[in-house]
Amino acid sequence: MSQTAAIEVRNVTKSIAGKTIVKDLSFTVQAGEIYGFLGPNGAGKTTTIRMMVGLISIGKGDIRIGGSSIRSARGKALEQIGAIVENPELYKEMSGRQNLKHYANMSSKPVSKKRMEEVIRLVQLDEAIDRKVKTYSLGMRQRLGVAQAILHRPSILILDEPTNGLDPAGIRQLRQYLQQLAKTEGMAVVVSSHLIAEIELLCDRVIIIQKGQLVAERSLKEMDEDGKVTVDIEVTDPERASLLLKPRFNGESDGGNVISIRAKREDLPGLVSDLVQHGIGIVQVKIRTAKLEDLFLQLTQGVRS
């Protein structure tokens, strides 16, 4: 029996003021994975997230959280979600701990003192938790927001632009916390962001939408679907190297000393050894990685209304 997906978005369409914002959108997110949600401004990301967390109604289709439909079992579905949409709602005149206690009192699930201390340690606010939130840096407030969102042990965490306003150190810290949550608590994490490089570092999979429609979904661990990578090999004798490599690898020369080929990573040591044994000097071997930014620009710029 297949495992129930943490999130299932099924053929969802949403129109606002007569304009279709999201159109027939479907995707799934599994427990323990971090799922990136990318698209240009106005692509429908925030509208989709607002439907996922119950802030606006679904037009057509359905969204299921842990197998429960937001349409027919709204309470059961939403109690499984922790979310930050836009900025965390915090009381700046209260301490971090008081904010967490206030939020715990509003939770439909009981939150123990032990759980609260566990979450404070997880987001590394031990030393600052009894200070007023108005003294916190932006990064600390974001961490407190994450602590608030996960206090009731949700199975799903949904974050809309969580790195807004953070400096590079804050972004890195938040990335580490989210990866730890997915790994240690088995939490499904959905992150919408305009920072493509950060999504590439953070996420396991990514969806790209444009004009409310799915244009691509990729595993960031397997961007090269054929298992091969593009390799640039700079050699001392490109003509002989091309003749030697041609029977096994498709390659092209840049007109100089660099030959570009497609090959599996495990074939590279033998390939280099063959060139050396035939007296061809290797200046450098450089693997080109598929870049999410290139894919994003290629797909979103290629879609027309």
188-202 pLDDT, tens digit each: 999 998 888 788 888
Please report which confidence band the pLDDT of residue 94 belongs to, taking 50, 70 and 90 as the band edges: very high
203-247 pLDDT, tens digit each: 889 999 999 999 888 887 655 555 666 788 899 998 888 888 877
**More confident call, 129 vs 166:** 129
Contact 3, 56 (CB under 8 A): no
**What distance in Å separates the CA atoms of residue 270 and residue 282, rounded to the nearest whole number?**
13
Please report which confidence band the pLDDT of residue 41 belongs to, taking 50, 70 and 90 as the band edges: confident
pLDDT for 288: 64
Q: Is the pLDDT of residue 88 over 90?
A: no
Q: State which of 84-98, 246-260, 282-296 shows the largest mean pLDDT.
A: 84-98
**What distance in Å separates the CA atoms of residue 36 and residue 218, rounded to the nearest whole number?**
10
Q: Look up tokens 């053929």; give the residue.
A: 11
How many residues are present in the chain? 305
| Residue whose C-alpha is closest to residue 150's, from 173, 118, 192, 128 | 118
pTM score: 0.71
Would you call 278 helix, strand, or coil by DSSP? coil
**More confident call, 66 vs 245:** 66
Q: Is 103 exposed, middle or buried (0-12, 13-18, 19+ CB in 10 A)?
A: buried
Instruction: Spell out the domains of the chain, with CATH numbers in brackets.
Output: 7-219 (3.40.50.300), 228-289 (3.30.70.120)
Torsion of CA 50, 300, 292, 215, to 10 degrees: 70
